[in-house]
Structure formats: structure tokens, C-alpha cells
Amino acid sequence: MKLADFKVEQWMNDHEMQAKYNLTDTCSKEMSLKELLDLESIDLDMILDYGEITGSQAVKKGILSLYESGNYKQITTCHGCLEANMLVMQTLLEKGDHVITFSPGYQQFMEIPASLGCEVSILPLDAHWQPSLEAVKDALCANTKMVILNNPNNPTGISFSKAFVQGLIDLCKARKIYILCDEVYRGFSDDKSISDMYEWGISTSSLSKTLSLAGLRYGWIKADESIIHQINVRRDYAMISTGPLMDALATIALRHKTELMAANKARIETNKQTVREWLKDHPHFEVQLPEAATVSFLHFDYPISSVEFAEDCLAETGVFFVPGSCFGYESYLRLGLGQDSEKMKEGLAQLSVWCEKRFG
């Protein structure tokens, strides 16, 4: 089935290797293998067979520690949050279903349901990057099967209001509409998981954004047991297992989540402060900084397309952004907040020089 290019991922693939100052990466600064193994060693005698198919008890225990409720049968594991989302959508959606999602948002949530023959309503977020419950109410149809969100949102980093989330659950509950919530940015604030609030809420996440381990490609799904069972049927066709090595490394990271997330949250705070200071001298830019997430959506008012901005800035300074156009928004750049703080300062300084030269 033909899919449109996944614009943000394509942009990252095509340009990231040229970046000297990657100001657009949405991960927390990645650990080295040594740093991970310094936390705890692994059993070198482990046999590299398929391992426990849906994940070991140890890794599931670690995953459950990120939630308020749930048991081992409510978890299945996979390769990153992206695959988790795919498994959920491909398992539960059928041709003719109606799906609601939000913009700006993650293109996967629009393109994959459409490719499956679903009708997709894309509802715009408001000026504060909040969705409208009224708009959801208006969009609901007899065949609405799923509402899909990123919370906190990609690319804005903003969490949807608690009132909205509760209102959405109330709307969906009566008709058993699934809420798939990509919670890959959750963990730095007190946002609850949808899977702890709603029987038909499905949480997906990974180690990439909050635990500095994008390179393990380790993700999971948490949902009602009956949903996980259905997903595991498809999962047998798609991946078998994550393997025992990834399982063991993920277990270590999850056992040390408190210290890892504290360090990452502190880095986000430092980077947010850097951005605030920088903005004081740069009136052509503004951003609504998230309470606590590794991503934000930086607005600029120069008369230039976001693609031209991102391409020229990268070519001339090595400062790397994903242009807003990858999310359907002009005059924006995706600004990451989780990477090295010194590098971020240097990158913003380079950006200042470039803007001065380019726009006067």
C-alpha cells in the first residue's frame, strides 16, 4: 500500500548527518553503551535466542512502574514507540472506520489509518496548542473507532489539558471508542497515562525520549488484556520478540528510571532557561515552552519559508531544524529541548549570527 513520505522522518534521514548543532532532536541526550552498563552489568552468558516472546517479567515490571495500574498481561513489547503505534492501528482499525486526530501532530496518525481505508478527521489545535472538545464532539460519527493523540504533543511539547482529556474519555466511554495515546514524551510532569484513566485507553511509549536510549529501539504497549491479546496475534506476524539482549538492557534502564529522568528533566530546565534568555534578544522568534517535554515548536516571523530557513541555516551554519512544513505549519521550526546544554547555547549563538547576516 502506497504511503506518502513521512515528512519529518524523511527530513531527519536526509539532513541529520550534516548537523553540527542539532537543535531539533526530540530525544533526551543519548547515553553511551558504557554509561548504561555502568549502571548495572548484564549476564554475558545469556543465550541469544528469541527469549520471552512478549517480554520478560523483569522488563514488564519496569514498564509497569511508569504507570499507576496494570498487570503483566496488559503489556506487550516491541521495537520503539513507532512500531507500537503501527501494531495498535493495524490491529484495531478496519476499512470504513472513522478516526479522529489532531494537527500539528505526528503524520503516522493520519497516514496509516488513511492507508487502511479509514476516514480521518484532523482537528486543528488552538493558538495555545490545545484541542477543542467541541470540535471532537462535532467530528464524532457512528463509525468512529479511535481517537489518536500524542500527549505531550509532537511537535509542540504541550500537554493537552486535564479537562480536555477527561472530557474526551467521557465522550468515548459510552461508545467504547479507543483512545490511542502516544505517551513517548510523558514522564517529566504529573500527566496521567490514558491507560490508567480509561478502560479502552491504549498507551504506547519507549525508552527514546525520557530515558536517553533511542538506540535500543525499545517500546511497548499498555492496554486492557483483551486488546493486548488481539495485538499479540498480529505481533506474531510482525516481529516475534525484541530478543533477550534488548530486554535485559531495557530492564536496566527502567530500574534506574528515577535518576535518569531526574538528570534529563534538569537538562530540559536548563535548556528552557537558555531559550528564554535567547528570546529576549530575538523578537522575531517566539515559542510556548512545554512544562516538561523534550520538544517545542518555535515560531519566526521572517519572510521566508520554513524549508528555506531550515535548509539554508543548516548549509551555512550546521544548525539543524526540522521545518514546520513537515507538520503542515509554515513559519515554525521544531526545537528540541533534551540535548546537550552547551551545544544548544552554541547552536543558538550560531543561529543569531546567521539571522543577523541573512535578515539584518
Residues at the site binding a copy of itself, with contacts judged by CB under 8 A: 1-3, 5-6, 9-10, 12-13, 27, 30-34, 36-37, 42-51, 53, 79-80, 82-83, 86, 90-91, 93-94, 108, 111-112, 116, 212-217, 233-234, 236-246, 249
Cβ nearer to a copy of itself, comparing 30 with 224:
30
Cβ nearer to a copy of itself, comparing 91 with 306:
91
For residue 319, how far is the Cα from the chain centroid? 22
Quick one: residue 212, left, alpha or beta (phi over 0 = left, psi -120 to 50 = alpha)?
A: left
Shortest Å, Cβ 250 to a copy of itself: 11
What does 181-217 look like in DSSP terms, one character per residue? EE-TTTTSS-PPPGGGT-TTEEEEEESTTTSS-GGG-
Quick one: residue 232, left, alpha or beta (phi over 0 = left, psi -120 to 50 = alpha)?
A: alpha
Shortest Å, Cβ 106 to a copy of itself: 10
Shortest Å, Cβ 45 to a copy of itself: 5
User: In angstroms, rounded to a whole number, what is the distance separating the alpha carbons of residues 319 and 267?
Assistant: 20
The three-class DSSP label of residue 12 is helix
Cβ nearer to a copy of itself, comparing 118 with 197:
118
Torsion on CA atoms 12, 309, 279, 330, rounded to nearest 10: -80
Cβ nearer to a copy of itself, comparing 103 with 288:
103
Shortest Å, Cβ 282 to a copy of itself: 29
Cβ nearer to a copy of itself, comparing 230 with 331:
230
- Asked whether 208 and 338 are in contact (CB, 8 A), the reply is no
Shortest Å, Cβ 138 to a copy of itself: 28
Please name the residue that has the C-alpha cell 498481561: 73
Shortest Å, Cβ 339 to a copy of itself: 10
Shortest Å, Cβ 271 to a copy of itself: 17
Cβ nearer to a copy of itself, comparing 33 with 315:
33
- Asked whether 151 and 118 are in contact (CB, 8 A), the reply is no
Judged on CB neighbours under 10 Å (0-12, 13-18, 19+), 176 is: exposed
User: In angstroms, rounded to a whole number, what is the distance separating the alpha carbons of residues 326 and 306?
Assistant: 9
Cβ nearer to a copy of itself, comparing 96 with 302:
96
Cβ nearer to a copy of itself, comparing 243 with 318:
243
Shortest Å, Cβ 29 to a copy of itself: 9
354 — phi, psi (to 5°)?
-65, -45
Instruction: Quote the DSSP letter at residue 22.
Output: E
Instruction: Quote the DSSP letter at residue 323.
Output: E
